[in-house]
Amino acid sequence: MPAFDNNISLSDERNIDTVHKAIIFENVSIGFEDVPVLDGVSFELRRGETKVIMGVAGSGKSTILKLCLGLLKPDSGHIYVLGHDITTMTEEELFELRNKVGIVFQESALFDSLNVRDNVAFRLMEEHLPAAEVEKRVRESLSFVELEAAIDKFPAELSGGMRRRVGIARAIITQPEVLLYDSPTGGLDPITSTTIIELIMKQRDVFKTSALMVTHRLQDGFTLATHYFDPATRHMKPSDGMPSQDIRTSFMILREGKAVFEGSAHELGQVQDPYIKEYIS
């Protein structure tokens, strides 16, 4: 029996390991207008792990993230987030759980009628925290993404990369236990993409946050798997395969709603499946 069994939390009359696993998908299927999008997908996200989800457009990557937040309900299967079976929870119950899960949307989804300060502070203002506390935490969060100067700007005044960074600041302001990134580098130039990946790496290595990252860009995943964030230089550095850096990045590839690969960067490089070889080539 594994050593961590003593710390297992009970959830929905089943033993769910919430100490080591942040998200568990059990045979999850969902379709829209009779078209299956996910077909019996199962995977686990361990605490502190970043799982990179890849696949062609329409393979169900973004749907997985929306399912994790309960924004969509699966047709069948179970999804456990931080020990809660969210497939059986009501919307009201989900609102509380969502405070522990942050998401960065594909197009940032910033509230266009609010400035950067109010966008980042949205969750804190909904909790009616004191104004001084809100201001302090907003500045901390914006400082993390190096965007303090844009605090009074509106989303329309920001570039695509800046909007994505504000999205990250908004997602991390409550220090969630799980972060979901939906194509965080999509449509950005290579330099801005590297900045975003470095921020994701910083969140992973400094705060040990579990994360699911959907991306089309293979190099983003490999950068995460082969680099670590160095707090001294405030930049990422190659890990050179050193296990002591505690880098935990895994990959999952979706094809027509099914997970056709799950494993490490090394295993992905060794795979013989023709479809995956063509995908990563």
Chain residues that interact with other proteins, rule: CB under 8 A: 66, 69, 71, 91-92, 95-96, 98-99, 101, 103, 105-107, 109-112, 122-123, 126, 170
Residue closest to 115 by CA, chosen among 155, 80, 77:
155
- Provide, rounded to whole angstroms, the least separation between the CB of residue 66 and other proteins: 7
Residue placing its CB nearer to other proteins in the complex, 128 or 266: 128
- The residue ranges of DSSP E strands in 49-195, in sequence order, are 50-55, 76-81, 84-85, 101-104, 178-182
- Nearest distance, CB of residue 91 and other proteins, angstroms: 7
Q: Can you read off the two tokens belonging to residue 73?
A: 């309900």
Nearer to other proteins, 107 or 273 (CB): 107
> For other proteins, which is the closer residue by CB, 64 or 265?
64
User: What is the closest distance, in whole angstroms, from the C-beta atom of residue 178 to other proteins in the complex?
Assistant: 12
* Closest distance of CB 103 from other proteins, Å: 5
Nearest to 103 by CA among 128, 122, 76: 122
Nearer to other proteins, 4 or 111 (CB): 111
Side chain identity, residue 273: D
